């Protein structure tokens, strides 16, 4: 899972922020995914 998240972050498809206490929140960006699917 960690490698998959790294790839998604690298391509700008996931945003992340630290929540403190070792917790990180990941947010999928569906608009960017759809843009890649529409305009490869």
1-40 per-position pLDDT tens digit: 899 999 999 999 999 999 889 899 999 999 999 999 998 7
Instruction: Name the pTM for this structure.
Output: 0.72
Asked if residue 15 lies in contact with residue 6, where contact means CB atoms within 8 angstroms, the answer is: no
pLDDT of the residue at 20:
86
**Phi and psi dihedrals of 39, rounded to 5?**
-125, 75
Q: Which domain holds residue 26?
A: 2-38
Q: How many domains does the chain have?
A: 1
Own/partner contacts of 27-36, CB < 8 Å, gap of 24 or more, are 36/11
């Amino acid at each position: 899972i960690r490698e998959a998240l790294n790839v998604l972050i690298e391509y700008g498809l996931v945003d992340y922020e630290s929540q403190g206490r070792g917790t990180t929140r990941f947010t999928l960006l569906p608009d960017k995914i759809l843009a890649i699917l529409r305009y490869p």
